[in-house]
Structure 1
Amino acid sequence: MKTTTLYRPVGEKEMILIMESGFKKFPPRLDWQPIFYPVLNEEYASEIAEKWNTRDEAGNYLGFVTRFEVLEEIADNYPAQNVGARNHNELWVPSEELKSFNEAIVGDIKVTKVFIGDDFKKAGNTGLEELMLNIKKLTMTNKGMAKDTLDILAKKYYINEHNEKINIENELEISKKETVLFTQEQLSEMAESSMPENTFETQFETRNCSSLKAILELAEEENQEKLMCLNFASAKNPGGGFINGAEAQEESLARTSGLYESLLQAWDYYTIHRAMESCFYTDTMIYSPKVPVFRKDKGELLPKPVLCNFITSPAVNAGVVKRQEPERAHEILSAMDVRMDKMLSLALHKGNEVLILGAWGCGVFKNDPKEIAGLFKKHLQGKYKNKFKRVVFAVLTRKEEMLKPFEEIVL
């Protein structure tokens, strides 16, 4: 039994009728709709669903893409019609033949994508709400999450799991407006200046979890305006490779928050590093205050965003330095020592009390976790002793040799 794969963009009301059929058939056409037009390309179906089904004056503000199989011998009765662009190919099924066309569908009608219009308020029924959530969960790859996050940042709102519209425009604007690029010289002066008077009995913790998970947990327990996470940053690309689905600490933060928007405000940071040949990079840093964080690790959107401050700073790329500049390999640790001092000074002078740190530069940059942990211990139990209320080392790893050095800091 040979079948043809077809796609059909549908609006909210049509989707409800498809659900009521048990995902077995498409509903009859209205009097003013003489044809039923499935399409041959998912990209084209997505274009229609996003551009037209979400802007319906009749009240459809959701667009869905469905995929289904139909008997080839039936599909062949309807020659493909090109309606403009290269991939805009449709089958034109007269409305009076839709019943027999439905009978030729093999298996269930699958729903592959959902698009949400600007005027969407709430789904038509609870079944539709569950369908939307399930589609998002199934399609939320890292790359898909990044695309969805960029869409959220452009629209300045998102729809949470309760189908509530959460506006983050003010949070994004404040974070962008208050983003600051600090030069090496400015940070040197700051690190050498007198420190704020605050005194705590610092509580140290090491957690085998992502920085994002630590942010979400600590945001429930601490003052969010005094919570800072160190972004183990790419020196040359805002958000690292998050748009293409790359998986590392910065990418995780960029696809789950408004951090990317903030980083774009400090483009000189990237200009400086892109012009460099050495992978020591510089002590230049970006301070991103009160960034809205709105996702969990797997992409689930939060009921409401939490806020976190970020310091973006690249570690020395030790692996590349040792390969391309072996004569300077002995300088790596001292460079990281100075950079760490400046980062902690910036965190302190900006009023942060709770820090989320970790294995900075110990992944693809190949810094030694024992050395990095040793530097953190030196500074946090030396110059910055009891200057912070709480320091959490978030180290997501399966390797004991990566985690253990940071656990030993807190002993």
Structure 2
Amino acid sequence: MSSRGGSSSNNSRGSDSRGRGGGRGRGGGRGGRGGGRGGHPFFRKHVSAARQGLVDISKETRAVLPGILRDLPHLHADESELWSLDALAPLSPSNCPKHPRKAVVKVVNEDSYNAALQLAQAAGSSTPQQSQQQLQTTPASARVAVLNLASDKNPGGGWLTGAMAQEEALCYRSSLALSLHKRYYKLQSLQGIYTPDVVIIRSAVSSGHALLLGTPGFASPADLPVVSVLSVAALRRPERRSVSAAGAEEGEEPEGPEEPVEGEEQTTTPEDEEKEKAAAKAGGKEVFARAQDRDLTKAKMRLCLRMAAAKGHDLLVLGALGCGAFKNPTEDVAACWAEVLREPEFQGGWWREIWFAVYDRKREGNFEVFEQALGGLEV
């Protein structure tokens, strides 16, 4: 069963593995590593200013949303549903829309909302302005469903305190946080939140985070694009092991428990970086050390797909679940997605388009890994 809307207690991110550490290296976020540089005062000052700027963005987003939403009475940005995998039966072929053409997976190095807007335009063969208006006026099931790489602890992760990862980026740009009610948290291992009406009000951070209203194509709130969002949390820092290119085990890398830091921001330590470099130099890769962690990750992926299909979505923007600061093994996560998408349950015409938004602005390799594992896969 699903559970609707509401508000209340609890909070936490990722799911049922290790907490977020302090650490020095490449600063934080689940969707990729930011830019910390140790404890040097210059970098502390720079990071502090950047975080304060994002805190200000968060405040402005919360301030302008009520006025925007008053002009959009047909949308209900604060409504959402809490779903559990055990309440979602495997997809039944009798309910399948049976799209005649198989969906061909496309991997893009792009912000998730930007990817969704591009996908909406590509699927609708319309101008950007027309596709944005269609997103708002069509039923939720006709919209693009975007995967939010969510916190299992804190609604919106650290978006109120200036953190920046994929979930925070979505909240800075949209009404998403209004639907992430406190009573849902702590999310259990196989729970997710479905938000049908998410209004996008800003450009991406790479474009200055500007408010869209008043810019060309966005004369009024009725011009703002709307998507639906699936919020699912990844495992937190699961144990990993390295294997050689030939598949031989190179040894385990147990991850000790780490305490979360304020703002849901996770950093990568120099030790993490050295282990990654050593594995790459050896021509190997990292995989889940424990079979149960791999199985749980695949179950989370099934949750994403069943939620989307149950709500009639056939245009999906998925992502690199747990492949940022949660330190899930990138190659194995991409392989898990490929395995799940190939399962008979998800074949047969459920999807028109499946895109993966793997924003790899630091060129750390996540995009290439997902492109190699998933690009061109027919579902």
TM over 0.5: yes
Could you tell me how far 1:354 is from its partner in structure 2?
Answer: 0.9
What amino acid is the match of 2:353? Answer: R
Which residue of 2 is the match for residue 392 of structure 1? 355
Which residue of 1 is the match for residue 281 of structure 2? none
Whole-angstrom CA distance in 2 between matches of 1:238 and 1:335: 22
Can you list the C-alpha shifts for 1:152-194, whole angstroms capped at 9, x where unaligned? 12x332xxxxxxxx854425x52334x111134213x355796
Which residue of 2 is the match for residue 410 of structure 1? 375
Which residue of 2 is the match for residue 202 of structure 1? 103
Which residue of 1 is the match for residue 267 of structure 2? none
1:401 aligns with 2:365: yes
Could you tell me how far 1:195 is from its partner in structure 2?
Answer: 4.8
Which residue of 2 is the match for residue 33 of structure 1? none
What amino acid is the match of 2:159? Answer: F
- Structure 2 runs not aligned, ≥5 long: 1-49, 125-134, 136-141, 213-217, 240-253, 259-287
Which residue of 2 is the match for residue 116 of structure 1? none
Can you list the C-alpha shifts for 1:307-352, whole angstroms capped at 9, x where unaligned? 1010111011134884249x98442111001111121111112111
- Structure 1 runs not aligned, ≥5 long: 1-137, 158-165, 274-280
1:170 aligns with 2:73: yes
Whole-angstrom CA distance in 2 between matches of 1:140 and 1:293: 22
Whole-angstrom CA distance in 2 between matches of 1:324 and 1:331: 18
1:365 aligns with 2:309: no
Q: Please tell me whether the aligned partners of residues 51 and 162 of structure 2 are also in contact (alpha carbons under 8 angstroms).
A: no
Which residue of 2 is the match for residue 378 of structure 1? 339
- In the TM superposition, what are the counterparts of 1:294-333 in structure 2 within 5 Å? 294-297=201-204, 298-302=208-212, 303=218, 304-319=223-238, 322-324=255-257, 329-333=290-294
Which residue of 1 is the match for residue 118 of structure 2? 217
Q: Please tell me whether the aligned partners of residues 285 and 311 of structure 1 are also in contact (alpha carbons under 8 angstroms).
A: yes
Q: Please tell me whether the aligned partners of residues 212 and 296 of structure 1 are also in contact (alpha carbons under 8 angstroms).
A: no
Q: Please tell me whether the aligned partners of residues 355 and 391 of structure 1 are also in contact (alpha carbons under 8 angstroms).
A: yes
Can you list the C-alpha shifts for 1:33-53, whole angstroms capped at 9, x where unaligned? xxxxxxxxxxxxxxxxxxxxx
Whole-angstrom CA distance in 2 between matches of 1:193 and 1:268: 34
Which residue of 2 is the match for residue 82 of structure 1? none
Q: Which has the higher helix share?
A: 1
What amino acid is the match of 2:194? Answer: Y
Q: Which has the higher strand share?
A: 1
Can you list the C-alpha shifts for 1:56-112, whole angstroms capped at 9, x where unaligned? xxxxxxxxxxxxxxxxxxxxxxxxxxxxxxxxxxxxxxxxxxxxxxxxxxxxxxxxx
Compare 285-294 and 199-208 and name the one that shifted more: 199-208
Structure number with higher relative contact order (C-alpha < 8 Å, ≥ 6 residues apart): 2
Which residue of 2 is the match for residue 101 of structure 1? none
Secondary structure of 1:391's aligned partner: strand
- In the superposition, the TM-score normalised over structure 1's length comes to 0.56
Secondary structure of 2:294's aligned partner: helix
Could you tell me how far 1:217 is from its partner in structure 2?
Answer: 2.1
Can you list the C-alpha shifts for 1:272-294, whole angstroms capped at 9, x where unaligned? 44xxxxxxx51111100021111
Can you list the C-alpha shifts for 1:219-258, whole angstroms capped at 9, x where unaligned? 3344633310000000011111011111100000001111
Secondary structure of 2:313's aligned partner: coil
Secondary structure of 1:176's aligned partner: coil
Whole-angstrom CA distance in 1 between matches of 2:201 and 2:98: 31
Q: Please tell me whether the aligned partners of residues 231 and 313 of structure 1 are also in contact (alpha carbons under 8 angstroms).
A: yes
Query: What is the aligned counterpart of 1:146 among 51, 58, 61?
Result: 58
Name the CA shift for 1:194/1:263 in 2 (closer, same or farther; >3 Å). farther
Name the CA shift for 1:261/1:344 in 2 (closer, same or farther; >3 Å). same
Whole-angstrom CA distance in 2 between matches of 1:139 and 1:347: 33
What amino acid is the match of 1:147? Answer: K
Could you tell me how far 1:197 is from its partner in structure 2?
Answer: 3.6
Secondary structure of 2:76's aligned partner: helix
What amino acid is the match of 1:228? Answer: A
1:234 aligns with 2:151: yes
Name the CA shift for 1:387/1:300 in 2 (closer, same or farther; >3 Å). same
Q: Please tell me whether the aligned partners of residues 182 and 284 of structure 1 are also in contact (alpha carbons under 8 angstroms).
A: yes
1:291 aligns with 2:198: yes
What amino acid is the match of 1:268? Answer: R
Compare 394-403 and 292-301 and name the one that shifted more: 394-403
- In the TM superposition, what are the counterparts of 1:39-188 in structure 2 within 5 Å? 141-153=53-65, 155-157=66-68, 168-170=71-73, 173-177=75-79, 179-187=80-88
Name the CA shift for 1:220/1:167 in 2 (closer, same or farther; >3 Å). farther
1:282 aligns with 2:189: yes
What amino acid is the match of 2:73? Answer: N
Whole-angstrom CA distance in 2 between matches of 1:218 and 1:186: 30
Q: Once the two structures are aligned, what percentage of the paired residues are identical? A: 27
Which residue of 1 is the match for residue 173 of structure 2? 256
Q: Please tell me whether the aligned partners of residues 51 and 163 of structure 2 are also in contact (alpha carbons under 8 angstroms).
A: no
Larger Rg: 1
- In the superposition, the TM-score normalised over structure 2's length comes to 0.60
Q: Please tell me whether the aligned partners of residues 210 and 395 of structure 1 are also in contact (alpha carbons under 8 angstroms).
A: yes
Whole-angstrom CA distance in 1 between matches of 2:51 and 2:183: 35
Could you tell me how far 1:139 is from its partner in structure 2?
Answer: 12
Q: Please tell me whether the aligned partners of residues 358 and 395 of structure 1 are also in contact (alpha carbons under 8 angstroms).
A: yes
Can you list the C-alpha shifts for 1:188-216, whole angstroms capped at 9, x where unaligned? x3557965242232032111111122123
Name the CA shift for 1:193/1:322 in 2 (closer, same or farther; >3 Å). farther
Whole-angstrom CA distance in 1 between matches of 2:163 and 2:303: 28
